[in-house]
Amino acid sequence: MRRTNQWRMEVKNKKYIMVIYFIPVLILCISFSTLNLNKINTSDNTGNWEEQLNSLNHLVMRTSSINLIHGLALSQEQVQELIPLALQVDQLNLDFPDGIEYYSHDLKGICNTYKILSGVLLEDKPISDSLKNTVYRARELHSDIIKRSLLAAHMPGYQAEGCLKCHAAPELFPKGSISGKNTPPISAEDRKEIDLAHVKGLFGEEGTLLLWNLRDQVYKILTSEQKYVFGSFRCCLIPQEDVANPGIYGQSFVTNEWIAYFRKIREVNDNDWQNYKSLFFIPLGDILESKLPGIRKKDKTKLLDEAETVINDSRKMDEIDFELQKENLCVRLSEALKIDLLNGEATRQPDERKFIAAMFLLYPGNSAVYMKSAGQK
């Protein structure tokens, strides 16, 4: 029992440190609104629900955009080429909500945390473990809020328009635990429709069209290695450790924390492993819940089974093989927990990759980031 409690505490204490490196969440974080806000007749603190979602979306997208710029290690020549394109988007003067009233202290705290993180990233300062842990806790609450809004929108008899069609207001949220409840699966066609609605929610019709028209110009600026990123890039709140290597951008399982995770697993003898291995899968399950709120039990089980195969392979290796293969094991674990086939993003087409590159690299405000990098005012 003492050993069980010890491992439980170790997993719990490392959970925030470990999981925070793998928060490339769903593009646009499966939420958010249109620019034509349709306010609902509720109490004052929930009546601007779409505006609150749009504010949250903007903060996640802004943070992810900054992370991407740093992670791609753009050359000065590339930066100079991106500046005039980013200025075209900035000239649209898109209005993102700020200083709005949030329906709960939790949501206000989430947005404040994301604002603090964005400020640290803009200054290109190191992110403290304390802030990483705070961001992870904010992301957990964020996922719970989004899942509750999706579940509420699928209650019998519910009808609404615009963003409220999929994201019901807080007063309709299901009460109590929702861990056993699933949201409907998203097909490839659903994903395209949802993504387009989310993009228009941020950029409007004019901004969306501008990004589409600029996609080829943006893509031509990038190297082959940088283009590869957009085959699987998701919103990313916390940058990977090795941001100077764009070739592994997004493979954020290749960290000292995850290598230590494998080492700890390899130290457990066979008998104890059979009895207590479930403790080591707690962080993996939390990752899946954060990446896809409402993931179905059978899908979650399938992905965890694939992760267990990787973990079992690590336990079979001798010390030399493990040292040679430890980074590869981290990548394999990352691949095992991918949700692309579950959310319809596995079929991303070339033009979609180009558009996503344009959206993140030309996100409003990025011209200032590029000019600062180029030493311009």
**DSSP structure string for 155-181:** STT----GGGGTS--GGGPPPS--TT-
Structure tokens at 234: 């998701």
**DSSP structure string for 189-202:** HHHHHHHHHHHHHH
Asked whether the beta carbons of 177 and 287 are under 8 A apart, the reply is: no
Structure tokens at 232: 């699987």
Question: What are residue 24's DSSP bridge partners?
Answer: 236
The residues near 144 (Cβ < 8 Å, ≥ 6 apart) are 178, 293
Domain that holds residue 366: 2-373
Percent of the chain as helix, strand, coil, to the nearest 5:
65, 0, 35
Q: What is the pLDDT of residue 31?
A: 34
Residue 25: enclosing H or E segment and its boundaries? strand 24-25
pTM of the shown model: 0.68
Query: Cα–Cα distance between 296 and 289 in angstroms, integer?
Result: 10
pLDDT digits (tens, 9 = 90+) for 322-366: 888 888 888 888 888 887 666 555 556 788 889 999 999 999 999
Asked whether the beta carbons of 250 and 67 are under 8 A apart, the reply is: no
Handedness of CA 241, 246, 250, 254 (dihedral sign): negative
What angle separates helix 2-19 from helix 129-153, to the nearest 10 degrees? 90
Query: Cα–Cα distance between 108 and 61 in angstroms, integer?
Result: 17
Residue ranges of the chain whose pLDDT lies below 50: 12-45, 242-252
What angle separates helix 49-71 from helix 366-373, to the nearest 10 degrees? 20
Instruction: Name the nearest CA neighbour of 50 among 110, 113, 106, 96.
Output: 96
Domain count, the chain: 1
